[in-house]
């Protein structure tokens, strides 16, 4: 049984979908990863997986380039005739579904891990209208199934009359290995409380609000707390913040940008509080990993983020773009070690109940099996 897992970029596959691919391979599927090679192709192949380098562009709406992408996917699917297609992210799902429909293919899984830049804050204009027209063509009909990470995104697709409930499975994120990201009570002795924002450096992640909130707290907390941004610059994303701007608005001490961190677990375990003031998410992997290692979380009360926090149980939910409320929530945790420890323990309990990768794998393989049987 031939399975294609189609992802826009290699590093995202490795961080979010590798366990599913390995489990499918173990279950007997002939697994091929279709993705853009940014230098991680050998890492994928070292796991015994096949890979096809595909020229995805994650942002932009040049009509000629986007149509070329669909044509190339059409040709690829026609040549290889996979039995099951697993598209990851909304853009790949849309273009892949159109290519599959033109090939009269069945057995399609569309994993919608958030609605993307053009759906954030109701922006997008004509681009959004074009996307909606394409969605109504590509996502309807045939033997296909949708995986969503939160109920809000399901509701959006229902309102557009694109999905039926029988074709939807809700899976909370890509899961976390609870053995690898083990519960860890911070043992590093430091004079300052470490407050971490682990995300790509995008405006939509609330980076500017995080920095502004830290500045509001500076007169009281400088020397008692440190605010750390851990994440790379995503040059292809329209909401990207440049390295130059980040360096200008951080001081390297009280507010630090430390860039991409390969050892995510250690970075989270070094933190006392994890913060993500994002505008909208599918379900952020950084937060379920933070929950797994037992950290209290401050995040926004928006789709995707709110699934990771029970307000005043394992952290705080604050309104998006509300710097003052964000600062107040961070301050409460910074000033109370007892609260940090109690909420951290509850985060781990929530991760064990909701976010284990084994549950994600089991549900996904069941979807593959059911689609393959119908096809």
Q: What is the CATH number of the domain that holds 274?
A: 3.40.50.2000
Which one of 33-42, 61-70, 230-239 scores highest in mean pLDDT? 33-42
Same domain, 350 and 361: no
**Per-residue pLDDT at 125 exceeds 70:** no
Which one of 31-40, 64-73, 167-176 scores highest in mean pLDDT? 31-40
Same domain, 226 and 161: no
Same domain, 130 and 25: yes
* 186: in domain: no
Give, in degrees to the nearest 5, the angle at Cα 247 between 332 and 263: 65
Residue pLDDT, tens place only, 186-202? 754 567 999 999 999 99
Same domain, 160 and 260: no
Residue 346: per-residue pLDDT:
98
Residue pLDDT, tens place only, 55-112? 987 666 677 888 899 999 999 999 999 999 999 998 899 999 999 999 999 899 999 9
Name the percent of the chain lying above pLDDT 70: 93
Same domain, 150 and 199: no
Same domain, 212 and 83: no
The answer to which of 181-185, 208-212, 245-249 has the lowest mean pLDDT is: 181-185
Confidence of residue 365 (pLDDT cuts 50, 70, 90): very high
Q: How many CA atoms lie within 13 A of 368 on its CB side?
A: 27
Same domain, 215 and 343: yes
Structural domain boundaries enclosing 94: 2-174+357-374
Same domain, 33 and 119: yes
* 188: in domain: no
Residue 140: per-residue pLDDT:
77
* 297: in domain: yes
Phi, psi of 72, deg, nearest 5? -65, -40
- pTM for the complete prediction? 0.87
Same domain, 250 and 349: yes
Residue 116: per-residue pLDDT:
58
Average pLDDT over residues 327-342: 96
Integer angstrom CA distances of residue 153 from 32, 111, 238: 28, 11, 21
Q: Which tokens belong to 52?
A: 């096809």
Kindly provide the residue ranges of all beta strands, DSSP E only, lying in 104-190, ordered along the sequence. Answer: 108-112, 144-148, 168-170
Assign residue 167 a region (left: φ > 0; alpha: ψ between -120 and 50; beta: otherwise).
alpha
* 35: in domain: yes
Integer angstrom CA distances of residue 80 from 3, 57, 100, 103, 119: 10, 22, 12, 11, 33
Same domain, 324 and 197: yes
Residue 185: per-residue pLDDT:
81
When divided into structural domains, the chain yields a total of 2
Q: How many CA atoms lie within 13 A of 137 on its CB side?
A: 12
Integer angstrom CA distances of residue 30 from 82, 98, 359: 9, 23, 22
**Per-residue pLDDT at 4 exceeds 70:** yes
Same domain, 170 and 303: no
Same domain, 151 and 53: yes
Q: For residue 47, count CB atoms less than 10 angstroms from its CB and return exposed for 0-12, middle for 13-18, buried for 19 or more.
A: middle
SS3 content of the chain, % helix, strand, coil (to 5): 45, 20, 35
Average pLDDT over residues 257-265: 95
Residue 283: per-residue pLDDT:
92
Integer angstrom CA distances of residue 326 from 12, 209, 213, 299: 29, 8, 6, 8
């Amino acid at each position: 049984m031939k399975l294609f897992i189609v992802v826009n970029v290699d590093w995202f596959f490795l961080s979010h979908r590798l366990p599913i691919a390995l489990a499918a391979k173990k279950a007997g599927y002939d697994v091929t990863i279709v993705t853009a090679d940014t230098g991680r192709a050998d890492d994928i192949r070292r796991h015994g997986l096949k890979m096809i380098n595909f020229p995805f562009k994650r942002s932009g709406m040049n009509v000629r380039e986007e149509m070329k992408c669909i044509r190339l996917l059409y040709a690829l699917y026609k040549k290889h005739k996979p039995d099951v297609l697993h598209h990851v992210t909304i853009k790949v799902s849309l273009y892949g579904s159109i290519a599959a429909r033109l090939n009269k293919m069945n057995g399609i899984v569309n994993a919608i891990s958030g609605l993307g830049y053009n759906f954030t804050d109701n922006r997008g204009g004509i681009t959004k209208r074009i996307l909606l027209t394409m969605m109504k063509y590509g996502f309807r009909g045939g033997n296909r199934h949708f995986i969503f990470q939160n109920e809000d995104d399901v509701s959006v697709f229902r309102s557009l009359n694109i999905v039926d409930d029988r074709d939807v499975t809700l899976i909370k994120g890509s899961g976390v290995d609870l053995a690898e990201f083990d519960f860890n009570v911070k043992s590093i002795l430091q004079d300052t409380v470490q407050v971490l924002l682990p995300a790509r450096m995008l405006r939509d992640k609330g980076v500017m609000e995080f920095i502004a909130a830290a500045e509001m707290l500076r007169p009281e907390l400088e020397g008692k707390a440190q605010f750390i941004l851990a994440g790379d610059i995503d040059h292809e994303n329209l909401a990207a913040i440049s390295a130059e701007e980040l360096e200008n608005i951080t001081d390297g001490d009280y507010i630090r940008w430390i860039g991409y961190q390969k050892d995510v677990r250690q970075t989270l375990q070094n933190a006392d509080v994890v913060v993500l003031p994002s505008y909208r998410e599918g379900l952020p992997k950084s937060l379920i990993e933070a929950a797994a290692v037992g950290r209290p979380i401050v995040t926004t009360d928006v789709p995707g983020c709110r699934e990771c926090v029970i307000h005043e149980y394992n952290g705080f939910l604050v309104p998006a773009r509300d710097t003052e409320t964000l600062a107040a929530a961070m301050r409460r945790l910074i000033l109370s070690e007892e609260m940090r420890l109690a909420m951290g323990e509850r985060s781990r309990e929530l991760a064990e109940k909701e976010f284990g990768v084994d549950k994600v794998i089991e549900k996904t393989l069941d979807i593959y099996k059911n689609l393959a049987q119908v096809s």
